[in-house]
Amino acid sequence: MSALAAGLGKVAVLMGGRSAEREVSLMSGQGVLNALRAQGVDAHAFDPAERDLSALKEEGFSRCFIALHGRFGEDGTVQGALELLGIPYTGSGVMASSIAIDKIMTKRVWIAEGVPTPAYALVRRNQWRDLDVAALVAQLGLPMIVKPASEGSSIGVFKVMNATELPAALAQAAACDADILCEQFIAGDEVTCPVLGEGDQAQALPVIRIVAPEGNYDYQNKYFTNDTQYLVPCGLPAGEEQAIQALVLKAYSVLGCKGWGRVDVMIDATTRQPYLLEINTSPGMTGHSLVPMSAHAAGISYEALCWQLLCSAGLEHATLGGKAP
């Protein structure tokens, strides 16, 4: 083991967990674990669904690489537990994580800060049966996107083409979440842009343009087929990529994100206006994942990316005297 790797101490790669994205998280975590071990890091798999987080302290782990996705991993809960345990972790802190997991809260912050995002309506799980469908269609138009407010990986997401499909879409989204996001559909190019770093040092990586079969970038096409095209360089008109990167950096910073993240964007085909959809604060690290792909285009290997993220692990809060407990 190199002195640098030894200096990182015993590392837990948190993977699996209890969210609907457990399967994807296990794939991400295994990739990260292999990459860290290949560089001499004393890294170990740790599944919070199977072991209590208190074992991290008891077993002498000195930092955590969070490869959890969705609830109980990307939503501030694990981050808060690690703050209490005094174990540095990768990615955003408690508040940024808890806001970013909620697409509606994210939109509220972005709108307040002048970040463009599609028009939306919030529907509560206990209200959708009494919803005025005609009024919602008049507000947002058709097609319309319906999705759970706090899920990822395109789980529970529906593109509603006509009003008769809306009740079924709402019912299925309600099965995933208490809050349902109904969103204006933006027709055009679908892109995503990762960010690394914190504050003034944050850097937007190359934009990736996503071309999915029939425009359907769903869970299956994200992780389990090779039919989706990922274009990097993205091939956008001159200046558009830089403008999107600047917008994504603003969106990342106003939420207080750090470490890394990835922002999904739709570009209106007619106006070329980019609209930000959501931000992921613990992005996928699978063989199909987009942050490693974009990093590779920027000259950063998968192993180097994992190393950089692990080295950036930290705590938001310290005890009196400036040291973590």
DSSP 27-57: HHHHHHHHHHHHTT-EEEEE-TTTS-THHHH
As a whole number of angstroms, the longest Cα–Cα distance in the chain is 65
Whether 221 is a known active-site residue: answer no
**Helix, coil or strand: residue 65:** strand
Identify the active-site residue in 92, 152, 278, 294: 278
Residue 214 CB burial class (10 angstroms; 0-12, 13-18, ≥19): exposed
Whether 219 is a known active-site residue: answer no
Whether 284 is a known active-site residue: answer yes
Identify the active-site residue in 223, 252, 275, 302: 223
Whether 275 is a known active-site residue: answer no
Q: d(Cα 233, Cα 169) in Å, to the nearest integer?
A: 35
Identify the active-site residue in 262, 282, 289, 302: 262
- CA 112 to the chain's CA centroid: 21
Whether 262 is a known active-site residue: answer yes
Identify the active-site residue in 284, 289, 294, 302: 284
Identify the active-site residue in 19, 25, 92, 280: 280
Whether 280 is a known active-site residue: answer yes
Identify the active-site residue in 25, 153, 221, 282: 153
> Do residues 61 and 12 touch, judged by C-beta distance below 8 A?
yes
Whether 113 is a known active-site residue: answer no
The dihedral formed by the CA atoms of 176, 181, 185 and 188, expressed in degrees to the nearest 10: -70
CB atoms within 10 A of CB 121: 17
Alpha helices for 255-322 (secondary structure H)? 290-297, 302-311
Identify the active-site residue in 74, 83, 264, 302: 264
Whether 154 is a known active-site residue: answer no
Q: CA 122 → CA 140, 177, 233, distances in Å?
A: 12, 12, 36
Q: Which residues are catalytic?
A: 21, 153, 223, 262, 264, 278, 280, 284
